Amino acid sequence: MHLQHIALAVFVAVIWGFNFVMIKAGLDELPPVLLCALRFFFAAFPAIFFVQLPAIAFRRVLIFGFTMFALQFTLLFFGMAAGATAGLASLLLQVQVFFTMLLVVVFLDEKPSGWQIAGAIVAFSGIGLVAANLGGDISALGMVLIVAAAASWGAGNLISKRLGKIDMLALVIWGSFVAWPPLLLVSFIFEQDAWNLASLSGLTWRSFASIGYNAYPVTLLGFAAWNWLLSHYPAATVAPFSLLVPVFGFASSALVLGEPIHSWKVMAAALIMTGLCINLMGARIATRKQQP
C-alpha cells in the first residue's frame, strides 16, 4: 500500500475507535434501534439531494445498505446495550477481519498469504482473551450480538469488494438512505416507550452529539474511505487495519468514560497489534532477509 493510503486507513481507525464512546453516550438516552435509525437518516439527508445514485443496480444498494449498515449496527448497538463496555465492543467487532478473509476466499478466490494467515491467528488469540474474561465488562449475550455484527460487517466488506471501483461516497449515502426506514419502523413497533414527548424532550446534547458523530465522520467519511480502499487493494490487506480500532477504542473509553484497562486487555490489544504488523510487514521483512 502507498504510505498515504496507510495513513488514510489509520485515520479511519481513529475515527471508528472513538465512536464507541459516542455510541455509549447515545445509548444512555436513546434505545438501540432508534439511535441506529437516526444515525442513517442524518447520514442520508440532505446529502442525497446532491449526490446521484451510484452506477449499479438499485437492489445492490439495498443489499449493501441492509447488510453493512442496518443489520451490523443494530446488532452492535443491541450488544452494547445488553452489556459490553465501549473498549471491549471495539475489540470484539474486529472479528470481522476473519469473516472478511474467509468470505473473499470462498466467493472471490482471493488467496491470503501465509503471513496474512499467521497474522490473523495471532490477532485472533487476542480476541480469545476477551472470551476468556467474560464477566463484569461484557455479558455472554453482548458478546454473541457483537460477533454477529462482525459477521455482518464481513459480509458487507464482501459486497463492497464485488461492487468494484464506483463512487463510494454515493454508495454510503444511498446505503444510509435505504437503511433508516426499516429501522425506524422496527423502533416504532418495539421501542414505543421512546416515542413520547416526555422521552424526546429529555434528550440532551449528548444524544445529538452521538447522532452527529455517527452520521458524518463515522458513516460518510469513514465508510466512504474504507470502501474506497477495499476497491483498490485486496481485502486481506485492508481489513486488518480495523484491528487498530480497539487500540483507539480502549484509549478513548479509558480517558473519557473512565473504563479500567486491565492487564488482559493490554495483552489482547498487544496481540492484535502484533497480528496486524505480521500481516502488513511479514512478507517484506522475510524478502529483505533473503536478499544477499
Closest CA to 12 of 220, 268, 254: 220
- Please give the pLDDT value at position 85: 83
Contact at 8 Å (CB) between 169 and 220? yes
Exposed, middle or buried, 248 (CB in 10 Å: 0-12/13-18/19+)? buried
Q: What is the pLDDT averaged over residues 79-86? A: 86
**pLDDT by residue (tens digit) across 205-261?**
999 999 999 999 999 999 999 989 988 888 778 877 877 888 888 889 989 988 887
More confident residue, 140 or 218: 218
* Residue with cell string 488469540: 125
Neighbours of 84 (CB within 10 A): 27
More confident residue, 24 or 291: 24
Q: What is the pLDDT averaged over residues 100-109? A: 84
- Separation in Å, CA 53 to CA 58, 61, 172, 175: 8, 9, 10, 10
More confident residue, 237 or 284: 237
Q: Residue 134 — pLDDT band, cuts 50, 70, 90?
A: low
Which helix (H) or strand (E) is 49 found in, with range?
none
Alpha helices in the chain (DSSP H): 3-27, 32-44, 58-64, 72-83, 86-92, 96-107, 114-131, 140-163, 168-190, 197-201, 205-213, 224-232, 235-238, 245-252, 263-290
Q: How far apart are CA 241 and CA 9, in angstroms?
A: 6
- Please give the pLDDT value at position 236: 72
- Please give the pLDDT value at position 143: 85
Contact at 8 Å (CB) between 72 and 152? yes
- Please give the pLDDT value at position 259: 82
- Please give the pLDDT value at position 265: 76
Closest CA to 222 of 156, 140, 137, 266: 156
Closest CA to 170 of 60, 67, 51: 51
Whether pLDDT at 283 is above 70 = no
Out of 15-24, 41-50, 177-186, 246-255, least confident range: 246-255
More confident residue, 88 or 169: 169
Check residue 33 and give left, alpha or beta (phi > 0: left; psi -120 to 50: alpha).
alpha
pTM score? 0.81
Q: What is the pLDDT averaged over residues 263-283? A: 77
What are 138's strand-pairing partners? Answer: 84
